[in-house]
Amino acid sequence: MIKTLLQQVILHIAIFGTITICIGAGCSSSPAQKERLERAERVVNTYPDSALTILEDPLFKEITTPKLKALHSLLYSMALDKSYVDISSDSIIRYAVNYYSKRSNKLRKAQSYYYLGTVFYNAGEITKAAENYLRAKEAATNAGNSYLHGQICNTLGIIYYKQNLFEEAAELYKESGKFFKSAGYNDKYANALSYAAKSYYLNGDDSTAIELHNKAIGIYRIDGNTDKITLNTLGIADILLENKEIESAVKILTKCYNKYHDGIIPKRHYPIWSKIYFEQEQYDSSKYYANRYVNESNIKDDDAKAGTLLILCNILSKQGNYKEALKWNEEYTELKNRLYKEKEENHIKEIEAKYTRDTLSETYHALQKRHKRHTIISSIAYTILIIISIAITAVSRRIVKKIVRKRDSDIKFYKELVRTLQEHINDVEERYQLIKSGHIAGSCDEAVVKAYAERLDALKDIMDYAYISESTPEKFYKKFREYINRNNKDDYSFSDLQFIANKKHHGIIDYLRENYPNLNQSDLNYCSMICLGFTTNAMRVIYGHTNNASIYNRRSRIHRKLDIGTEHLETFLERTIEDIAKNRL
């Protein structure tokens, strides 16, 4: 009995000693972990690769406190992002988000949401990315870090810009510039002004765009950044050329070349000079710069090359050299087709890469967790695998059935869409021929005729594509969206809609333009579509909006400009049309 008691005492002493040693080891490692995390944070912005080396130390395999684990999660995500490693799984940053979202530390909360947004952005989940960037922006308001606040606004600006929400993008770029300036980053401040200028230009506000380009140029002059000065000067020249102020465009470009390029025109500017001379009907000079640009072996801007090829085709057509014009037109068509094909292939590769990364990441972390916890007995492991396989098979069958049902529904929908489009194109072609032949006198201006012509060509292409992609509706839908996007960027894209709405509804568009001067061209286009009976979903497709909030933001802006209180926009337009009709009687 005494021997048994002695053995129990020895066992308790051993257990107590082991616990004491473990606690001691944990206490001794915690200060070391904290010191290395602080060192990593000091260098993460300037030397992210060094920060990665520190953060990947085996010391961090078993972090002792939730606070240090959250900080390691955040800093590791920062170091990866600043080292240009695109992470599309939230497994690393998620712990930091869960921890700091419940704490009062505004800076850490803003950083966590920002890098979670970046993960979703890399994964192509733009809506989730925007949601987390907005949370980061809110947290950054009182966080005392102007640079981070500027970076958040700048990234949101990029998202809105890609959704063609140029007014919102411009404001976000300007806001980011304000924070970059406050943080002392003049180069990023100037870059933000440049992007804001481009957004204002695409939104139709040319004067503000030119003002911001000039402001950016002033900052770049202080830093001596001649490339950015030249780039912004080119942006101003493009705006002037669009507004037919050819002499002013030539003047500012020449002044820039004389001051920063020894009077020599940079090769990347040849397309604009080809366009300038084309507008001046100096076709030989236009052809000279176009030929020099397309024959350059190191051209990287395929879009600029395509535009230059089109100018060459137009020049030779005007000069009567149709054979040479046809050659350039074929090269232009081939290049545009290649660009569209590359765009589709890149999209497919992005999707494949996304799912491959996600699958590998999930598998790796699952194995790592199982290894840390325990070694599973073989029989139990096999049983679990069988259960999982059965579950996956059952789920897969349901998913396949769902996909098949959706595919059948899509095919039915797109067949109906093709039929409707065919009726539409027949009607448009008949009207266009009447207008072209002069049988409908005084009912259409040149802009509307051009709009009908371009719309006819585009619709014919879509109908041809619909035939060959009948079994793959997603490809037809993608082609249809490309047509909508190109149509939105064209100078005459909505001339016919405004014209028809105006004629059909007693001059409603002229009335709005005269009585509400704050309405821009985009606003009038939107009102035209309401008058012509376009649904909200149809207008979402036309404007390329990916969520309901975007189209309602547009409606809210028009609502404020009309100052109509709580009255619905459709009700206001119906009432106004009735009032105009009564006054004309």
Q: What is the b/e burial string over 21-31, where b = at least 16 CB atoms within 10 angstroms of the residue's CB?
A: eeeeeeeebee
12-26, 36-50, 131-145, 528-542: least confident range: 12-26
State residue 359's pLDDT score: 41
User: Is the C-alpha dihedral spanning 342, 343, 349, 350 positive or negative?
Assistant: positive
Q: Name the band, by pLDDT with cuts 50, 70 and 90, for residue 353.
A: very low
Judged on CB neighbours under 10 Å (0-12, 13-18, 19+), 534 is middle
For residue 487, the SS3 value is helix
For residue 62, the SS3 value is coil
Most confident of 16-20, 154-158, 324-328: 154-158
- Rounded distance between C-alpha atoms, residue 507 and residue 174, angstroms: 37
Selected residue with higher pLDDT from 152 and 64: 152
State residue 452's pLDDT score: 60
User: Is the C-alpha dihedral spanning 393, 395, 396, 400 positive or negative?
Assistant: positive
Residues 183-187, mean pLDDT to the nearest whole number: 92
Q: What is the b/e burial string over 241-257, where b = at least 16 CB atoms within 10 angstroms of the residue's CB?
A: beeeebeebbebbeebb
Q: Name the band, by pLDDT with cuts 50, 70 and 90, for residue 467.
A: low
State residue 468's pLDDT score: 61
- Check pLDDT > 70 for residue 437: no
With vertex at residue 497, the alpha carbon angle to CA 427 and CA 476, rounded to the nearest 5 degrees, is 60
State residue 193's pLDDT score: 93
Q: Name the band, by pLDDT with cuts 50, 70 and 90, for residue 448.
A: low
Residues 69-83, mean pLDDT to the nearest whole number: 88
Selected residue with higher pLDDT from 255 and 417: 255
Quote the crossing angle between the two packed helices 270-279 and 283-294, to the nearest 10°. 160
Look at phi and psi of residue 376 and say left if phi exceeds 0, alpha if psi is from -120 to 50, else beta. beta
Answer yes or no: are the C-beta atoms of 86 and 98 closer than 8 Å: no
What is the residue type of 261?
A: H
Helices (H), 281-377: 283-294, 302-318, 322-373
The Cα-based distances of 390 to 384, 385, 397, 401 in angstroms read: 10, 9, 11, 17
Instruction: Return mean pLDDT, the chain.
Output: 78
Contacts of 564 (CB under 8 A, 6+ apart): 572
State residue 156's pLDDT score: 92
What is the residue type of 334?
A: E
Does pTM top 0.85 for this prediction?
Answer: no
- Check pLDDT > 90 for residue 174: yes
66-70, 400-404, 561-565: least confident range: 400-404
Selected residue with higher pLDDT from 445 and 538: 538
State residue 431's pLDDT score: 61
State residue 374's pLDDT score: 44
Which among 35, 45, 12, 364 has a CA at the least distance from the CA of 183?
45
Residue bearing tokens 């371009």: 454
- Rounded distance between C-alpha atoms, residue 112 and residue 135, angstroms: 10
